[in-house]
Structure 1
Amino acid sequence: MTELEDGSDAGRNLTTQDWLDLARETLIREGIDAVKVDRLAKVSGVTRGGFYWRFKSRQDLLDQLLDDWRSCNTMPFISAVTGVGSPSERYHALMDLWIDEQRFRPEYDTAVRNWAAASPKVAEVVHTVDTVRIDALRHLFVEAGCDNDEALVRARITYYHQIGYYALGIKQSAERRRQLGPIYYRILTGFPVGSA
């Protein structure tokens, strides 16, 4: 058997990121049970041997996929909330992130939350990420002048509202979401609509 026949040569052409991208899209479309080595290799047109050039095991892939989610969907969130500008400007940056759905993929969050329902390890990671995100929002509200308890409650309400929006599968155009944005902004933050 040649290298090409056992898939190792072809598999080496796929980068670790290629495998993660494929695993991510499979997770989003079909759930964690579909993220299997045989299936991903078949879709990629390589054999299982190609997979093992990049990962020690399926669990290694799943661990890296969870890290990918944590990075892809949390770093933009934290950057928006803790970046430059006033608390109001940073809150607007977060709203833009959620509405544009470019650097933050709600379907990825939903897929990982569904995965967490079947895996205590994943549930623990999701809980940790939620805590980090909520705490970043809490700090924003403290900077805006809220006492710690009010800041925590506003952070939770804002965060739970957005997670609920995704969990319920609400579909609205970006234009409609932007139209409603000032109302959500006023109700969720307590900031004056024109504040900067």
Structure 2
Amino acid sequence: MFRSQVLILLLGLFPAVAQADILIEDAYARAASPAATSGTVYMTLRNTGPQTDHLISARSPIAAKAVLHRNIEDADGMMRMIAVTDGLDIDVGCAARLERGGDHLMFMGLTAEMTQGSHFPLTLSFEKAGDITIDVPVDMTHVPGAVVISGHVNHDHSGMDDTATSHEAMHQHNTQMCAMKIAD
């Protein structure tokens, strides 16, 4: 009996190893008005693994659906949003930013209010890393880049100068921002 329980516990660790190749950083949502039926989620997805991974979908219990949106410039020079249905590739050693004024996750059919200070679970499904669920804070005052890796433990910042550049450099993890590629 004891061996079976230990084996079950050990097998439960393997999905966490696969998830370690995708780091989700600086996730937050913008609060919607009480009457809103949609909301937005932003984050950086960083691939530290040995191969390209693919974001397949996203879901949360607070929305009927979550859709990846891309902002594009039309022929008249106007920016407009389009839904991306094929997901998102994240190359090895690269990061994809979902950000305000850029590509982002749009929640449609909100089933709960997104109020300042609240939190909700978000599950991102990747081709290789599998499902990764994070807790997303709703924050209208969030400054992108000011919050470090989701689940990142506190560490000593003594001896650093006060520039954001130094702190950001400390968290680069030897990766670079790469152009976000929509899957073919």
Query: What band does the TM-score fall into relative to the shorter chain?
Result: under 0.3
TM superposition score normalised by structure 1 = 0.25
Q: Which has the higher strand share?
A: 2
TM superposition score normalised by structure 2 = 0.26
Which of 1 and 2 has greater Rg? 1
Q: Which has the higher helix share?
A: 1
